[in-house]
Amino acid sequence: MSTPNTTANFNGARPVIDPDDAVMLLIDHQSGLFQTVADMPMTTLRRHAAALAKMATLAKLPVITTASVPQGPNGPLIPEIHQYAPHAQYVARKGEINAWDNPDFVAAVKATGRKTLIIGGTITSVCMAFPSISAVHDGYKVFAVVDASGTYSKMAQEITLARVVQSGVVPMDTAAVASELQKTWHREDAQQWAEIYTNIFPPYQLLIESYQKAQDVANNHEQLDSQRQ
């Protein structure tokens, strides 16, 4: 086998997430910074970031959060993160822009004993990209969740995607992270995973609603309104 993949630190392993080795890092998802996001609708970013928190909880991943000077214009962390991942550990920084430059943050990652990082950060160009590149250089397998991060233009997002891929980071979208963690519908919490997907692609909620109604109609032998006299 010759697989010339250019991912970093996998050493021939299939470049996918191993849930047992993974930590989720949610960096600088703050109310002020969210006002600067323009590569996707802010509401989409907000749903995706919340979905990451939910799936980390379902999959029992450690979660580490941090914020960039939340006392200033950058604003507070959006509350959904800790609401949906109540076990998350918050690490305060001292002004460092690259979270990886903060020793407490790196120490918290190391303390998990895990070597696979799933990273979302706003703004993507900086708060996601800098720690991702740093962690790859320090030997971690890094999965960057580009659409659970947000930045100031579509072009900035595209440039950042090219840069992190060039550095050996594996790019992911939010749905792919969910599915690599879930792995199968043959599990007891399947319904909770289905609800996560409604956060990632909201038409899934309509599908569930319509499906349920169609089954109810069949099961209850309900008549079509248009056939009533």
Is 34 or 84 the residue whose CB approaches its own copies more closely? 34
The CB-of-202 to its own copies minimum distance in angstroms stands at: 5
127 is catalytic: yes
Report the nearest approach of its own copies to the CB of residue 118 (Å). Answer: 14
Q: Cβ 212 to its own copies, closest distance in Å?
A: 8
With 0-12 CB in 10 A as exposed, 13-18 as middle and 19+ as buried, what is 159? middle
Indicate the residue among 62 and 199 with the shorter CB distance to its own copies. 199
CB of 11 to its own copies, least distance (A): 6
Q: State the CB neighbour count (10 A cutoff) for residue 99.
A: 29
- Under DSSP, the state recorded for 168 is T
Separation between Cα atoms, residue 13 and residue 15, nearest integer Å: 6
Please tell me the distance from the alpha carbon of residue 222 to that of residue 224, in angstroms, as a whole number. 7
For residues 199 and 50, the answer to whether their CB atoms sit within 8 Å is yes
Given 127, 136, 148, 172, the catalytic residue: 127
- Give bridge partners of residue 30 from the DSSP assignment: 77
The single-letter DSSP state of residue 128 is: I
Pick between residue 24 and residue 200 the one whose CB is nearest to its own copies: 200
| Helix (H), strand (E) at residue 89 | strand 89-92
The nearer residue to its own copies, 6 or 107, going by C-beta atoms, is 6
Catalytic residues: 127
